[in-house]
Amino acid sequence: MISKNELKYIQSLCQKKQRAAEGVFIAEGPKLAEELLASDYKVIKGYATAAWLAENKTGKGFAEVSEIELEKMTGLQTANQVILVCEQKIQKTIPDLSKKLSLVLDGIQDPGNLGTIIRIADWFGIGQIIASEDTVERYNPKVIQSTMGSFIRVPVYYTDIVTFLTATKLPVYGAMLEGVSMYEVAKPVTGLLVIGNESKGIREPIQPLIKQAITIPRFGGAESLNAAVATGILISHLKG
């Protein structure tokens, strides 16, 4: 049985301020639990149903809770067997990005979009994402859930991307409506692909730093594409 104080603590981790203060994040469900337990992330505490505990070897640090208790703890619409409290990893030093294609995110705000972009990067073997400081936090519970575990393999480095792009010597591509068709762009061995904010696109201070604006040709009547969908289409072509 979980105490009221422990319940309040878990619920408080849905808030960014509390996660930052504690240096932790929460992950829910069997799929994420399996990946985290097999990774080098430190699991501080786990809460799981008797059925899940019976099927999984977890070691110490897990508490059995009822489904009713799990429902009170969850940040999801429906609780899913297990909740982990894990220690955050803070990526500070951007690695060498030469000889690879990397993503740069300019103000992505929707947690689902960021999570999906991380998952797309993982699928296509892009091992790192550079994000503006106002991009949604990678340890937001909705981001964690939508990555389906890909956040373990794809670190996100938060920085001032104007300064970063100004200093880089790598080719800088930008997803823009007024750009060259992606089908006319040679597939790069190395470079940075900038994806803009969901509603504003790539912001004005960054646009002069784009060396090659690229676009996805439109054949129908849709006004725009979701940021994560556009990322997947562009990477599929550039990496194909």
Q: What is the CATH number of the domain that holds 110?
A: 3.40.1280.10
Phi-psi region of 5 (alpha: psi -120 to 50; beta: other; left: phi over 0): alpha
Q: Please check whether residue 82 is in contact with residue 58, taking contact to mean a CB–CB distance below 8 angstroms.
A: no
Could you tell me the pTM of the whole model?
Answer: 0.94
Structural domain includes residue 94: no
Same domain, 111 and 50: no
pLDDT of residue 77: 80
Same domain, 114 and 211: yes
Q: Residue 179 is part of which domain span?
A: 101-239
Same domain, 24 and 81: yes
pLDDT of residue 18: 95
Same domain, 142 and 226: yes
Structural domain includes residue 96: no
Same domain, 141 and 171: yes
Question: How far is it, in rounded angstroms, from Cα 205 to Cα 44?
Answer: 41
pLDDT of residue 76: 82
Structural domain includes residue 93: no
Same domain, 115 and 215: yes
pLDDT tens-place string over residues 202-240? 999 999 999 999 999 999 998 888 999 999 999 999 986
Weakly modelled stretches of the chain, pLDDT under 50: none
Same domain, 114 and 189: yes
